[in-house]
Amino acid sequence: MVQVAAGSIPVIHPSTSSGFADPFFKGMPWHIYILLCDQKTYYVGLTSNLLQRIESHKLKKNLATKKFSEVELVYSENFETRKKAEKREIQLKKWSSAKKKALISGDKEILIKLSKSRSVVEGRLG
């Protein structure tokens, strides 16, 4: 897994116009990503072409994010197979905003505390 920092340019991979992998292209990496929408909402997604997918979000071509005026890529991970990426996407979609924020910031201490405690109030420890 590789984290892509906000603003960095990932490798462009061949894909179809839908943003999904060409099934005949072997070895296509898959990406899960987190967008910060309007500086307050996290959106977790899956794609085989990260640049194209982010662009589609920014152009308001995605039903789930078109209502937001601003979308920013804040985190991504790469996977060798779609199945592995889907498993991680499902996991992250279940996480609280506080837990996603800790992952994005790389704060392992807070992430561990949030993972161990079900009584943690959103965004606070204690």
- DSSP-assigned letters across all residues of 87-118: HHHHHHHTS-HHHHHHHHHT-HHHHHHHHH-S
Q: For position 39, which CATH number holds?
A: 3.40.1440
Question: Residues 25, 53: one domain?
Answer: yes
Question: Residues 53, 101: one domain?
Answer: no
Closest CA to 73 of 93, 53, 103: 53
**Looking at residue 24, what is its pLDDT?**
43
Q: What is the pTM of this model?
A: 0.73
Question: Residues 61, 109: one domain?
Answer: no
Q: What does the pLDDT look like over 35-94, one tens digit per residue?
A: 999 999 999 999 999 999 999 999 999 999 999 999 999 999 999 999 999 999 999 999
Q: Which residue has the higher pLDDT, 66 or 24?
A: 66
Q: Decide: 98 and 122 in contact? Cβ < 8 Å.
A: yes
Question: Residues 88, 107: one domain?
Answer: no
Question: Residues 105, 90: one domain?
Answer: no
Distance CA 47, CA 18 (A): 10
- Number of domains forming the structure of the chain: 2
Question: Residues 60, 107: one domain?
Answer: no
Distance CA 49, CA 71 (A): 17
Kindly tell me if the per-residue pLDDT of 120 is higher than 50: no
Question: Residues 104, 84: one domain?
Answer: no
Question: Residues 20, 36: one domain?
Answer: yes
Q: What does the pLDDT look like over 87-111, one tens digit per residue?
A: 999 999 999 999 999 999 999 999 9
Q: What domain range is 106 assigned to? A: 96-126
Question: Residues 37, 77: one domain?
Answer: yes
Question: Residues 62, 80: one domain?
Answer: yes
